[in-house]
Amino acid sequence: MHHKDLINVIKERRTALQVTQETLAELSGVGLRTLKQLESGKGNPTVSTLQKLGDALGLQLNFKVKTNQLTNETGESIV
Amino acid sequence: MHHKDLINVIKERRTALQVTQETLAELSGVGLRTLKQLESGKGNPTVSTLQKLGDALGLQLNFKVKTNQLTNETGESIV
DNA sequence: TTAAAAAGTGCTTTTTGATGCACTTTTAGA
DNA sequence: TCTAAAAGTGCATCAAAAAGCACTTTTTAA
């Protein structure tokens, strides 16, 4: 996943949970300005920023070995 | 995964493939100094740095809904 | 055992991420 | 429609990431 896509997961999850940027900023400890910037498509967050946001939204960041198997959008095998 | 763990995945994958830091730095486009710093446990990489390294090693970075929370029948979080 | 390769570190500069403040624009609800 | 809430932006500051260079330490293989 490109980092724009990772940010998009954050944004979609936040909106799905009907949480405002302001609330997510408070819950996660990430500055509101930073969150606004990221969600509007600017910047390249540090891993810790991404993790703070993910933690607050129940999302886990991880690495997975790429395979040549068919997978769904979460990288889970569908075979 | 904490970012130390993410870096550890990089390191383990690199050594498993018997690739040196120098080679990985060249293949990924990440500076050797940066890679050395990260693997020796210092710093908080940007997502793009982590992705460059992951790409070169066949690792995919992604977000996943945490499993140790309340979910519905389809595995979707209901929190 | 020892020499070369690989990994780790101190110092430095440049770039850029994180942040606050104030403001504008957009969206959603009464 | 109109307004308040939410989202987005320009400007500035501070801290830290990325990077190169030269050096030391550790690991590995002959």
> Which residues make Cβ contacts (< 8 Å) with residue B6, sequence separation at least 6?
A47, A61, A62, A63, B50, B61
pLDDT in tens, B50-62: 999 999 999 999 9
Q: What is the number of domains present in chain B?
A: 1
Q: What pLDDT does B74 receive?
A: 37
Q: What residues make up the domain containing A17?
A: 1-79
- Please state the pTM of the whole predicted model: 0.86
How far apart (Å, rounded) are the C-alpha atoms in residues A47 and A45?
6
Asked if residues B59 and A65 have their Cβ atoms less than 8 Å apart, the reply is yes
Asked if residues B38 and B70 have their Cβ atoms less than 8 Å apart, the reply is no
B54 contact to strand D (CB, 7 A limit): no
- Name the residue in chain A with its Cα closest to that of B79: A17
Q: How far is CA A3 from CA B41, B57, B72, in A?
A: 22, 17, 28
- Name the residue in chain B with its Cα closest to that of A9: B63
Q: What pLDDT does A67 receive?
A: 78
B33 contact to strand D (CB, 7 A limit): yes
Q: Taking CB atoms and an 8 Å cutoff, what residues of chain B touch A54?
A: 63
Q: Which of A53, A60, A47 is nearest to A26 (CA)?
A: A53
Closest by Cβ to B47, choosing from A3, A17, A64: A3
CATH code where residue A10 lies: 1.10.260.40
